[in-house]
Structure formats: structure tokens, C-alpha cells
Structure 1
Amino acid sequence: MDWKPDRNANKALYKQLAEYIENGIADGTFPADKPLPSERKMAKELGVNRSTVVSAYDELEADGLIVRTRGSGTTISQDIWGMSKKRVPSWNRYIESGSFLPNHPVVQRIRKEAEEIDMINLASGELSPDLFPSKVLRKLTSTRSFIGNLGHDHPLGNEILRRTIKEHVKDYRDIETNPESILITSGAQQALHLIVQCLLKPGDAVVLEDPSYHYNLQIFKSAGVNTYLLTVEKDGMDPEELVRLYKKHRVKMIFLNPAFQNPTGVSVSDRHKQRIIEISLELGIPIVEDDPYSITSFSGKKISTLKSMDETGNVLYISSLSKIVAAGLRIGWIIGPRAVIERLADAKQQVDFGHASFSQWVANEFLESKEFHLHLTRLLKNLESRRNMMIRSLQSYLRDQVEFNSPQGGIHLWCKLNRNVNETKLLEDAIREGVIFVPGSSMGSREGYVRFTYARENEERIDLGISRFAESLRMQEK
């Protein structure tokens, strides 16, 4: 077969193959009296994965051009014009044409590999099971009777939990609010989705940090908004850059993660935070503060939030229990002006009719108990110990090959590689060695960085994971 797919084209390989075969059926390249090559043989001849051929044949079968019969292979349909044959939809076309975009391919690859039991996971931004307060939660749920409503709860979320969160954010984050200004969400991720979908429209300009976890979220592209990047340096972002971006692009909203930022681990100074609030007031731009980590300061020093400085309601504040209790609880919240909260609550009702009452009850019982503070103290001690192990391992195995700052809280370490690498090859080599991480370019515009997370593995496996990464990096020299 002389034809080969063009790997540099914008069209998927399977679509190129499907079109080639369709044209070949029309011009006689593939005669009707001979079977098409098997999936395996076709893949070998073209130098593609078998899944590519399978998808192409799926498309052709959906269009009624070919027939696949177990034991007999794949043949050209005798009823090629579809006069009498039943047709099945081309699901690949539907999958690709939907308005809600799939995850970044790197994210999909990492999540797939994270399911492997033996894989050392330095990529996933969640706590390891041994850091969950499982025993405490079992005790609380076994000794106290569930008092929630098994029907649909309040549109804003359970009122008792909202009152508890009101006290929680006051005690731990110096935020003054009221239960009517709080919406319970399914983690911070749903909160971001609601804000983007309800408060922005296609063509709006928004600012994201660079690098940033938000950068690889497809919700912005799915919503059709234009994203502009605000560089994060060792001491955080420059507030005056916000002014320049606003004048150039008429920015409608700013998304920031100012405390132990994901992925860099840096925190914006109080002086810069105050200036950000002033800029928001001067230009009338709302700020979305995504704050999973301000409560995780290893020194015990309280980290100021933008929301604690917000006296006019310019800041929409997002947080959750995912990074400090357990991601599986799916308890997050948005704090903001009441009219905005009610708009977001209306959208949430359309999606899921409100949050699960049992998980809200569990979260409330834990937050109200003395066990929460004890758990937080133990958690921070463990996270600091794991961070220290990661730093020792990086210094031991990689020495001058990398540069990094020691994060003073949070769960991520941002690492600069001191030589050029092929990011795709480095990740694949690391996977073969049995460790996964997040390539830097998937979180921003700069290559040559990696993000390691130290919350998902214990100290022994962190050390082993860094040694495997070091071996993968050495393979780049070959």
C-alpha cells in the first residue's frame, strides 16, 4: 500500500484512513469482491496503532460502506447506497463534534497510568488514602444519627453546613460572610464550571496565571472565552501586569490561586494582594480566588486570602475539603454576592438538583468536631515530611540538573530542568520506569519544567519515584 497518513495534518489519522478507503471503494482501489485487510494487517502496513484502524472501520461501517462479520473479516457492503441496510450512528463524529471538550491529552494519559497499581504517582493532586481521616469519619458516622433530608435540600446547600462553613472560613481564613452568600458545590471543579458557564460568554477575555492548574482546564475553551496569561515568578505575579492586560484586552474576569499556587507553590505577598484588590475596584473587574491551600501553611502562620481583604464583594471565593480531608467527599463552596450565588445555585439545580445530603452531613459533623483541627495538624506534619523527602531525593539523584524552591505549604513542587528535553519522550520513558509526573507545558506556556506532587505517595515511594525520574532524565542523553 503506497498511501500513508499525514501525521502533521490537523485531521485525525483514523479520519484520513476512512476517507482514503472511501475514495478507494469509489475508484476501484478496493474492489467489492475482495475483503479489506484485517485491522492488524492494515495497522502494520501503515505503521499506526490498531485502534486507529478500528476507529476508521467503525466510521465506514456506520456510513454503510463496509460490513464486518466475525470469522469472515471486513468486506465492502453489497448495499452500498444503504437502500435496505440498517445504519448505526458514527459515534466518533458525535464525540468529536460536542461543544464540551475532552481533557488535555497529557492529562488523559496520566490519569490512565495512575490506575496502575505499581505506578508511583507524583502527578495526581490529591491526598493518599493514609492521610484521610477515615477512622474519625467512621466513628462519627457510626455514633451519630443522620439528621439530614433524603429529599432535595436547599438550593444553596444544607443550611447547617453553610452555617458551619461560615464559622470555618472566619476562624481559619479571616473571611466574614453569611450562610446566604455560600453555595455548596461538588468540589472546586464544579464551582469553576458554574462561574465560567453562568457569568461569561463566548469572546470574553479572562486572565489566568502562567503556569497554572487552570491552564489545562478545557472549560474555558468549551465556553469560547479568550484566555490571557499572567506570569507567576518566584515572588508571585506582578499586579501591574493585570492593568496592562486589561487595557489591551478589556479583561472581564481574573482567576487567581494566590496561596501556595498550583503548580509553583509560591504565595502572593499581602502588599500585592492589596494592590490586586485596588485594581479590581479601579477597573471594576471581578476576581475568582481559587483557594485550596491557604490553610496548609507548614509554619502555622495564617495566610491572608484576597476575600478577607474584600470589602465590596469583588471577589468570588472558591475552596473545598478535597485537599485537606478527602476528594471523594466532593464538598466545595463558593462565597460571593448573594445575587451571584443565587444565579449559580439556579444553574446547579439544573445540573444535579442540589448536593448529596449525606456527604454534606458527614462534612458538617467533621468540621464541627474537635477532630478536624487534630486531623489538620497531623496532615500538615505529614505533608511537610513528604516535601522534605522529595527535596532530599531531588538533591541526591539530580543535584545540579534541576532548580526548585521549597514550598512552604500546599502539595506541589515546581521543578526547572537545567537542559532541553523532549517532554513527550520524558513522560513516556518515566511511565516505562514506573513513575508519573505532570509536564510543565501542560500547565502553561513554558517548557522545561515538571510538577511533582508529594501528597499522593509515602516517603519511601517518593524517594523511589524521584530515582526513577532521574533514570528517565538520563535516557534523554541517549
Structure 2
Amino acid sequence: MWKPDRQSKKPLYEQIADHLQQRIAYSEFPPGSLLPSERKLAEQLGVNRSTVVQAFAELRSIGIIESQTGSGTRVSMSKWGATPKYTPNWNRYAESGNFLPNPAFLRRIREALNQEPSLIDMASGDLAGDMAPIHEITKLMSENQYASYLGYDNPQGYIPLREALVTFLDKYRSIPSTPSSILITSGSQQSLFLITQCLLSPGDAVAIEDPSYCYSLPMFHSAGLRLFRLPIEERDVYPETIRNLYKKHRIRMVFLNPNFQNPSGTVFNVQRRKSFLDAASELGLPIVEDDPFSLTAYNGPVPPSLKAIDANGTVIYIGSFSKIAASGMRIGWMVAPNAIVERLADARQQMDFGLSVIPQQVVAQFINSAYFEPHLERLRMQLQFKRDLLIESIENELPGLMTYEAPKGGLHLWCKLHPDVQDGKLLEEAIKRGMVFVPGSVYGSDASYVRFNYARAKADEIGPGIAKFAAALRELM
């Protein structure tokens, strides 16, 4: 964040006035928009309130801002010279369009983390930097020559990476595939975006789990889809539920996250998977299986995927490098029928002409290297250790106030609060005390649930983070 230069000969109030005028000129504050209060701006810039009062007075004198008692200070709707000059109403543009913004809680979390990077982050859904295979990837990049060609690559994805994924999927997920049946994406979210935009139409009905990560994605609502929920606790009756939804609403597609589900951490009953696939096959109903967490299984065998037992070509399978290695590489994949892959690759070409070839080359080398298996083992141990730290901290700080089931894989702990508190107020109290989490309502659940990500925070931050959350909860109780 910009701060005035106290070593400059220019008075602080003039520096602040110039800075605000520049931001207004760049339309960061469009005409009619409300400026921060004098007190809040003084706190942000580390100056006396009187300094900000002087800066505002300077801008008012040249007609750039207007102040009204009780209404705050706003950017003037017009700037006058020889003739009136008007700036486009950028607020109106920002509020229009078909693509909806993220849920308010997610935007608030992002804003808080941007403003105060020292917050203990138990909200973001990715790995901490020290859990990524940075040294291994650095070594691979020093040992290999990359990017012999830096033009546009195949919009379906770098062919050697698709070939490497054929082996990877067979070895780790028992999924048969071919390079032509794989589409490389920038992650699971882009895969879902392509599916909702290209394979479905406004008004189509789809089924999602409840709670569900999909519910937190405005892309489903932006696409005009009608969402019908499949309660997690009723997974045993999913086959019959799907038949009823199809009969009543003609659902077109089902979205599932069967292994270490986000946010609940649950695993779809293995014995029920085949009956669910049979029901979908009877109806000719596609299933989109999002499977980012399976390889994080802490103990015992990795749960099978729906795709591995799909004998009728019912499942579109989505995977990602983000949750098992590094989200910043922006590599995901989709296994689907060739017609679907070609359709979505064509859409990708219209969007961005395909991903950068360099991270695709690096990931292809990494998953084929001797480094990959040890990295997975280390990752599982680190995640289990952090999960146990989180549970121990909850037992110490919140005895009797929260219930949960310890997940056997994944990055999240899904908890039910027993006191009745407003999740918005709880989030704000937690932010004031120095930590962030995700309220359960983001995933379609009620306000009595919260999700903690134990992968992003450092191990020595987990205990203090839960202590801060406990203090916030008790304040509201």
C-alpha cells in the first residue's frame, strides 16, 4: 500500500492529495464513488487525521471531490473546464455483465489478506510454500533444457505432458486414457468453467453435493444453471435421488467430489459407487468427477475413483497439480470422450490460445521423475501432522463447542459450531484478532459450520490461529 514519503520536502497533505487525484484519474475511484473516511485513511497511511483533512480540502478546492454532512466524501460526478467533461460510470459497468462476482465472504477474506498479510490464513485452499517441491523442480529445471519453441502450443495441451499423464493416471488412479482423451487446463476451476459454459445451456438443471465447493463458484449461477442438491449425509440413497431428480427436473449433469470432499472431507462409500454409476448410465446422465485430493490419503490405500470403475463412459474426470504439488504451476487435466475434448480445446483456443508451454514441460518432467513419489510421501506426512495439530488445538481451545470428523486425506477440516452465531460477525471478529477461515454458508451450508484449511498455515501458526478463532467465538457468545 502506498505511503507518503516523510523525507520529501513536499508536505504530506499535498502528497496525499496528489496520490488520490491520480487514483481518481485512473478510475480507481469512479465519479460518485465514496472515498474512505478521513479517520480510516489516516490509519491506513499512518498520518494524523488533520493531514487527511487538509488533503481533502485541497481536492475540494479544485472540484474533484464533494463532501456532505452525513454522506461522506465522494468523487465529483463531473470535472469542469471550458466545457463539462464526464468520466464513464465505471461502477455501473462493474455491476453489469453476465459473470457474477465471487461470494461476499470470499471477497472479504481476500481483501483482509491483501491488507494484512500477517493474518494466519486458514481459509485459502492451497499448500504452504514449504510443502511444495520447490527444490526438486528447481533441480529439474537446471538439469533440462526447456522451451525450444515459445509460440502457441496445441490448445489441447503439450503432447509430452498428456503422454506423461497417461502413465500417471494408470499408475496412481487406475484410469485408462490416451493422449487424445486428455485436455490440459489451468486447474479444476477452469475445467468446471469450460464444462458449464460449453456443454450446458442457461436453464439446464444440474445436481451438486450439499455442502459443495461448486456452490461457492458463481460460474454455475452465471451460466444460468438450476442447482439441485445431494446432501452429503444421504450418499447411500444417491442412486434413487438421481432418478427422482431426473424424472422431476430432467437434470443434465451431476457434479461430484467423491474422495475427501471439499469442504466436508468425506469419502463416497465404495460399495455404493457402482450402483450410482449404474443409475447414471441408465439415464444417460454424465457425471463430472472432481478428484484433486485422492493422492493425499494419509494411511491405507488411496480411494478408487469413479472413473476407474466406469465401464460405460459416463464420467468426465478432473484432476489438478495444485493440491498435490504447487498451485502456482497452474496445471490441471480433464479425461473425457474425444468429442468433448475437441469441443473444449476449441473453446480454450478462443479464450487464451492454450497454456504456457514452460510449466507444462516442467510438470511432465516432474511426474516422470524419481522425485515425485518421495514428494507425495512427504506431503502426506506433513498434512497428517498439521491435521493432528489442528485437532489438538481445537480440543484445547474449544472443548464442547465444536464437532467434526477427522479427515483421512485432503487439506480441510469441516466443523459444526454448537453456539448460534452469525457467520459474518464471526469472520470479522476473527479478522480483528488476526486469522481468517471460511464460513460454511459459502458452500451452501448453514451458518453453524466453518472450514479450516490446515495446509496453508505454517505448523507453528495453527495453534495460535485456533486460539484467535476461539477468542472471536467467545466474544460473540
Q: What band does the TM-score fall into relative to the shorter chain?
A: 0.7 to 0.9
Partner AA of 1:108 in structure 2: R
Superposition deviation, residue 445 in structure 1: 3.6
| 1:130-159 C-alpha deviation (Å, 9 max, x unpaired) | 001101111110111115531111221111
Q: Hey, what does 1:422 align to over in structure 2?
A: 422
Distance 1:120 1:236, change over 3 A: farther
Cα 1:304/1:248, change in 2 over 3 Å: same
Q: Which residue of 1 aligns with 2:156?
A: 156
Moved more, 154-163 or 429-438: 154-163
Opposite residue 427 of structure 1, the aligned amino acid is: L
Shift of 1:240: 2.4
Matches of residues 46-57 of structure 1 in structure 2 within 5 Å? Answer: 46=71, 54=74, 57=75
Q: CA deviation at 1:15?
A: 12
Residues in 1 aligned to 2:367 and 2:468: alpha-carbon distance in whole angstroms: 39
Tell me how far 1:395 sits from its aligned partner: 0.6
Secondary structure of 1:399's counterpart equals coil
The corresponding residue for 1:5 is: none
Task: Output the CA distance in 2 between the equivalents of 1:214 and 1:146.
Answer: 36
Structure 2: give runs of 5+ residues left out of the alignment.
1-29, 35-59
The residue aligned with 2:355 is 355
TM-score, length-normalised on structure 2? 0.84
SS across alignment from 1:200: coil
Paired residues for 1:36-435 under 5 Å: 41-42=67-68, 45-46=70-71, 54=74, 57=75, 61=77, 66-67=78-79, 84-115=83-114, 116-146=116-146, 148-233=148-233, 238-435=238-435
Structure 1 residue 37, shift from structure 2 partner = 11
2:313 and 2:379 map into 1 onto residues whose CA distance is: 32
In structure 2, distance between residues paired with 1:124 and 1:38? 39
Q: Which residue of 1 aligns with 2:3?
A: none
Distance 1:235 1:205 in 2: 19
Classify the secondary structure of the residue corresponding to 1:238. Answer: helix
SS at match of 1:207: strand
- Asked if the contact 1:210–1:229 (Cα under 8 Å) also holds between the matched residues in 2, the reply is yes
Output the amino acid matched with 1:363: V
Q: Structure 1 residues 119, 234: closer, same or farther in 2, change over 3 A?
A: farther
User: Compared with structure 1, are the counterparts of its residues 333 and 104 closer, same or farther at alpha carbon in structure 2 (3 Å cutoff)?
Assistant: same
Contact 1:148–1:357 (CA under 8 A) maintained in structure 2: no
The one-letter code sitting in structure 2 at the alignment partner of 1:399 is P
Q: CA deviation at 1:247?
A: 2.0
Contact 2:191/2:333, CA 8 A, preserved across alignment: yes
**Partner SS for 2:324:** coil
Report whether the alignment pairs 1:459 with 2:459: yes
Whichever residue aligns with residue 199 of structure 2, its letter is L
The number of equivalent residue pairs is 422
Residue identity matched to 1:156:
Q
1:459 deviates by 2.1
Q: Deviations over 1:303-360 (max 9, x none)?
A: 1101111122211110110000100000000101000000000000100101110000
Once the two structures are superposed, residues 389-445 of structure 1 have per-residue CA deviations (whole angstroms, 9 ceiling, x without a partner) of 000011110010000000000001000001210111100000000000000011114
C-alpha separation in 2, matches of 1:369 and 1:318: 22
- Alpha carbons 1:260, 1:408 under 8 Å: kept: yes
1:265–1:410 contact (8 Å) kept in structure 2 = yes
Structure 1: distance between partners of 2:81 and 2:154: 59
Quote how far apart the aligned CAs of 1:85 are.
2.8
* Cα displacement (A) at 1:230: 1.1
Could you tell me which amino acid in structure 2 is paired with residue 266 of structure 1?
T
In the alignment, the residues of structure 2 paired with residue 330 and residue 268 of structure 1 have an alpha-carbon distance, to the nearest angstrom, of 27
Q: Do the aligned partners of residues 236 and 405 (structure 1) sit closer, same or farther apart at CA in structure 2, a change above 3 Å counting?
A: farther
Distance 2:374 2:396 in 1: 33
List per-residue Cα deviations over 1:53-96 (Å, max 9, x = no partner): 53xx46xx2xxxx44xxxxxxxxx799xxxx5333211111111
Residues 236/429 of structure 1: CA separation in 2 closer, same or farther (3 Å cut): farther
Which deviations, in whole Å up to 9, do the C-alpha atoms of 1:249-296 show, x marking residues without a partner?
Answer: 110111110100000000101122112211110111101101101111
| Alignment TM-score, normalising by the size of structure 1 | 0.84
